[in-house]
Structure 1
Amino acid sequence: MSTNLAERVAARRSHPPARQTTRGAVAQQPNLVQFVQSMRGEIARALPAHVANPERIARIALTELRRVEHLAECTQESFGGALMTCAQLGLEPGGALGEAYLLPFWNKRVRAYEVQLVIGYQGMIRLFWQHPAAAGLAAHTVYENDDFEFEYGLDPVLRHKPARSDRGRPTDYYAVAKMANGGSAFVVMSVEDVEVIRQRSKSRDSGPWSTDYDAMARKTVIRQLFKLLPKSPELARAVAHDEGVRRDLSPEGLDTPPDYIEGEVVEQAPADEQHATVEDVPAEFAGWPEATEPGGAADGS
């Protein structure tokens, strides 16, 4: 049996488990919990030097499989690809820190759930700071009763004085960056501008767009700002893989453009499809606590 994770997944893909065709029967699903366990070595090798806790990544993945509906039904290739991208970028999957999210979506083309990786607001900020020229980054929400003024051009102006109370509804979002050489740049987007971009997203009505709209709006304006700034290799890769599906589990997969499938997301699978749930935790995971915030009792770091 091959010890290479990508080869093992490819072998499973070429010899998929049989599906029962009787109406109402549950299709046999690969055990993603055990798959996470098998990935621990690859995760450890993929993590950057400043992130040295593969056990925590595995615990978080296990927690997400239990927590997120349909995630346990996703293909091994897409689930493993999303985890490898998180590991290689040094980001934690799951919504606890807001660095990255694992979102299942139904791919009509292959008639299977796949994992879409969404890089979060905090993940973008974390990767920005890895560039040696980075000196400051901030993103804010502007409300209708705030004192706000901006102007682009040769002498750009950005001034924001938030109202002390009764700020009203959000009207704009902006991001501003300072570089070590003294330079700076900013981008302002109206709520309507953000909505145009949200509507292009496969996960526009689910995941962090539904639970953390403000953070996703700030992430959106930060992404626009990044077009004007020097980017670290990690940040450039994160932007490339944001909202994509990675199926290549090899280390080189991070440098391969992911798959973007528009307009093929459904909230629920077709009614005649029956789906498995997460299996009981195997003995190897017995006693593992649920993932918690870093530094918590269950973290072990």
Structure 2
Amino acid sequence: MATNSTTKSQLAKRKNNNSVEKQNNPANTIQAYMKKMGPEFEKALPKHMDADRLGRIALTTIRQNPKLLECSIPSLMGAVMQSAQLGLEPGLIGHCYLVPFYNGKAKQMDVQFIIGYKGMIDLARRSGHIESIYAHTVHENDEFEYELGLHPKLVHKPATGERGDMEFVYAVAHFKDGGYQFEVFSTNDVEKVKQRSKAGNNGPWKTDYEEMAKKTVIRRMFKYLPISIEIQQQASQDDTVRKGITEEANSVHDQEYINMPTPEEPGEEQPKDNPEITTEQAAMDLK
């Protein structure tokens, strides 16, 4: 017969086990790092953004993709720092993405920082010389015509109803002085860029293909836009990985890698528990 002391002992043991499981939860480990790095993110953020909001959005993005919980902590914090420095919010609205990939050179999972379609537009608008900038996809049933030369021309009339498969994507920028610039990519052009991407088989290229196509043509148009060297440098943070929050961003195209499947695919292993970490240890590990 169970005694009161036995019952209390069992309850206490269960409570301790739950406490250990909570402490060893990878998401809680990441949260500890994020909390400790809050002041550093605050210093990097532009005035229009808030460190608490960035932290909440980053944690939501990380929890939604279990593979991010398996990535090296320094590269994950480095990617969040990149979003802070550029003033772009990860995940939810398509400003930028945190994409896990296997770094064959380092033999570990790292995080690739990718600027999204809306992020590219946001960076371009910061120049102060652009009245409007946008991109659209063209489908097989649309009416579409463009020509280059002395008198460039672009006409796009989207079909009503079923538009068919995507055939082109284009971007247009109107300048405050009255000029304009446009760029057109075929789906073949987009595919060539995708094939060169380390995240071509997963991440936003798989979940948001048309958005990535728009981003690709806008990025190509950047070289013709009246924007500062600083903004050009910010745009060059695309497709990069950091080894820590104070490290320089390196292009993933310079890294050996192995692509990882996206979390939606079957047969995925669940992330392993990380050891318990204190906020003090988090600060020391990331220096």
Q: Which residue of 1 aligns with 2:259?
A: 266
Q: 1:29-178 maps to which residues of 2 (within 5 A)?
A: 31-51=29-49, 53-94=50-91, 96-178=92-174
Higher-Rg structure is 2
Q: Unaligned stretches of 5+ in structure 2?
A: 1-23, 262-266, 280-287
TM-score scaled by length of structure 2: 0.79
What's the offset of the Cα at 1:205?
1.1
Give me the whole-angstrom Cα distance separating, in 2, the residues matched to 1:124 and 1:54.
21
Q: Unaligned stretches of 5+ in structure 1?
A: 1-25, 284-301
Secondary structure in 2 aligned to 1:70? helix
Using the aligned pairs only, state the percent identity. 42
Deviations 1:204-256, CA, capped at 9 Å, x for gaps: 11111111101001111111111211224553233211111022523xx5xx4
Q: 1:237-248 maps to which residues of 2 (within 5 A)?
A: 237-248=233-244
CA RMSD in angstroms, aligned pairs only: 2.9
Secondary structure in 2 aligned to 1:127? helix
What's the offset of the Cα at 1:163?
1.5
Tell me, yes or no, if the aligned pair for 2:101 and 2:109 is still in contact at 8 Å.
yes
Give me the whole-angstrom Cα distance separating, in 2, the residues matched to 1:232 and 1:54.
26
What's the offset of the Cα at 1:60?
1.6
Give me the whole-angstrom Cα distance separating, in 1, the residues matched to 2:54 and 2:276.
19
Structure 2 residue identity aligned to 1:60: I
1:174–1:263 CA distance, 2 compared to 1 (3 A): farther
Q: Which residue of 2 aligns with 1:287?
A: none
Aligned residues: 249
1:37–1:136 CA distance, 2 compared to 1 (3 A): same
Secondary structure in 1 aligned to 2:224? coil
What's the offset of the Cα at 1:73?
1.9
Q: Please state which structure has a larger fraction of its residues in helix.
A: 2
Give me the whole-angstrom Cα distance separating, in 2, the residues matched to 1:189 and 1:76.
37
What's the offset of the Cα at 1:139?
0.4
1:150–1:198 CA distance, 2 compared to 1 (3 A): same
What's the offset of the Cα at 1:64?
2.3
Structure 1 residue identity aligned to 2:201: D
What's the offset of the Cα at 1:76?
2.2
